[in-house]
Amino acid sequence: MQQTMRWFGPNDAIALKDIRQCGVTGIVTALHEIPVGDIWTIDAIIARQEIVRNAGMEWTVIESLPVHEDIKKANGNYLEYIENYKISLKNVAKCGIKVVTYNFMPILDWVRTNHAFENPDGSKALLFNQVAFNYFDLFLLKRPNVENDYSDEDKQIASAYGKTLSEAEKELLFKNVLLGLPGSKVNFTAEQILALLDNYKDINNDTLRNNLIHFLKEVAPVAEALGVKLAIHPDDPPFPVMGLPRIVCTEADLKMIFEAVPINANGLCYCTGSLGADPNNDLEKIIADYGDRIHFLHLRNVARDSKDVFRESEHLHGDNPIESIMEKLIVLMQKRNVSLPMRPDHGFLHSIEEGKEQYPGYSLVGRLKGLAELRGLEMGIMYKIKQG
């Protein structure tokens, strides 16, 4: 695998020289400063490439070239934004970058209720607690008609949970759920999120899926002609939040997306954490069924403590069969004769970095630990395969 790490650009407190010392050759990044929907110019792409190259690495994967909300809703200036996306893809291809990751999650890229769950050793992890989220949704955000989305039992459990929280804990929960977009340190306000949610009140799963397929029918042939691979990131978490539609959660979702636009450029960012948060997803079967569509790897693990709680676990120890997944990915790469880019997705916050500025889940030491473990696992499995 091509070993990479995510870097959030010049404003990232973690320096490229520190990432290079982790032993990676590739950088996963984006032009976060460019407003969503605007064209990525060749000059802007080259300028960022030069920064990465001067640090001794190569910008190999874009994460993400974001999709404008108008495209997801198929309203407003969505046709213009689709054309802009095509131009950006052409400019990316001219600069030699071949993998473009994106997602089709409405409004929020990912959601956790706790950004600092304490592990037994004192390190901190990201966690999602459905009960805590329900309390946020029902009693803190209070979105219109929210009561229709929950049973009486769920409401009672959420209410009781809220009574155990201090005002400071309620404020932190609100802040955790409404973390801004990747590369941003700004949280959504209640007013902002409620206004954005109102824009989706008439959009269900079928509508959003149709809008995704329309988008892909427009941009995927362009990417195919350019030799660029599009890699859609699964929804995180892989179930509805705040009444928003979710359409990239399950094996059935992937099947519909790939069959609707059956060209190789319409591919997957295979994220074991996002897909693995749903115990009904068979991660090994997804490799078997859609291996030719896998263009980028996010490798991490999750532990489902109960039906209501999942947390990010050590990369090699969780509910996902990471050893078997790694072996099947190695066999897949040998079959396809490719070296897929991989990054250790997320990582624990260790005490040595606590208090330093970083994005949740993206501490350097935590990711380095995950990378080292995955690197060793890959080498061990490759040795085993060679020995027969």
Of residues 271, 295, 315, 350, which has the active-site annotation? 271
Instruction: For 309-333, write each residue's pLDDT tens digit.
Output: 999 999 999 999 999 999 999 999 9
Helix, strand, or coil here: 208? helix
Q: Is the pLDDT of residue 151 over 70?
A: yes
Query: Which region among 42-46, 175-179, 290-294, 296-300 has the lowest average model confidence (pLDDT)?
Result: 175-179
> Average pLDDT for residues 261-288, to the nearest whole number?
97
Of residues 135, 200, 235, 298, which has the active-site annotation? 298
**What span, in angstroms and rounded, lies between the C-alpha atoms of 147 and 144?**
8
Is 233 annotated as catalytic? yes
What are the Cα distances from residue 190, in Å, to 142, 175, 388? 9, 10, 58
Q: Give the number of C-alpha atoms closer than 13 A to the C-alpha of residue 77, restricted to the C-beta side.
A: 10
Is 292 annotated as catalytic? no
Is 249 annotated as catalytic? no
What are the Cα distances from residue 193, in Å, to 136, 137, 228? 13, 11, 34
Of residues 295, 315, 346, 350, which has the active-site annotation? 346
What are the Cα distances from residue 242, in Å, to 181, 265, 356, 379? 17, 31, 31, 42
- Alpha-carbon Rg for the chain, nearest whole angstrom, is 20
pLDDT for residue 184: 60
Q: Is the pLDDT of residue 186 over 90?
A: no
pTM of the model: 0.96
> Average pLDDT for residues 260-266, to the nearest whole number?
98
Provide, rounded to the nearest whole percent, the portion of the chain with pLDDT above 90: 95
Is 271 annotated as catalytic? yes
pLDDT for residue 181: 63
Residue 335: exposed, middle, or buried by beta-carbon count in 10 A (0-12, 13-18, 19+)?
A: exposed
| 109 band by pLDDT with thresholds 50, 70 and 90 | confident
pLDDT for residue 183: 58
The residues pairing with 266 across neighbouring beta strands, listed in sequence order, are 230
**What span, in angstroms and rounded, lies between the C-alpha atoms of 82 and 202?**
22
Of residues 81, 102, 135, 233, which has the active-site annotation? 233
Is 298 annotated as catalytic? yes
pLDDT for residue 187: 77
**What span, in angstroms and rounded, lies between the C-alpha atoms of 254 and 310?**
22
Q: Is the pLDDT of residue 159 over 90?
A: yes
pLDDT for residue 180: 63
pLDDT for residue 188: 86
**What span, in angstroms and rounded, lies between the C-alpha atoms of 132 and 177?**
10
What is the pLDDT of the chain when averaged over all its residues?
96
Is 345 annotated as catalytic? yes
Of residues 278, 345, 350, 359, which has the active-site annotation? 345
Instruction: For 235-255, write each residue's pLDDT tens digit.
Output: 999 999 999 999 999 999 999
Report which secondary-structure segment, H or E, holds 307: none
pLDDT for residue 182: 62
Instruction: For 120-142, write each residue's pLDDT tens digit.
Output: 999 999 999 999 999 999 999 99
In the numeric block, the tokens 């990378």 are attached to 371
* Euclidean distance between the first and the last CA atom of the chain, given in angstroms as a whole number: 20
Instruction: For 335-382, write each residue's pLDDT tens digit.
Output: 999 999 999 999 999 999 999 988 999 999 999 999 999 999 999 999
Q: Is the pLDDT of residue 185 over 80?
A: no
Structure tokens at 161: 């949970």
In the numeric block, the tokens 């306000």 are attached to 189
Backbone angles phi, psi at 112, to 5 degrees: -135, 150
Of residues 102, 200, 359, 362, which has the active-site annotation? 362
Q: Is the pLDDT of residue 13 over 90?
A: yes
pLDDT for residue 179: 84
Long-range contacts of the stretch 88-94 (C-beta < 8 A, 24+): 88/39, 88/40, 89/65, 89/219, 89/222, 89/223, 89/226, 89/228, 90/222, 90/226, 91/39, 91/40, 91/41, 91/42, 91/45, 92/40, 92/45, 92/62, 92/65, 92/228, 93/226, 93/227, 93/228, 94/42
Provide, rounded to the nearest whole percent, the portion of the chain with pLDDT above 70: 98
> Average pLDDT for residues 213-237, to the nearest whole number?
98
In the numeric block, the tokens 């009444």 are attached to 243
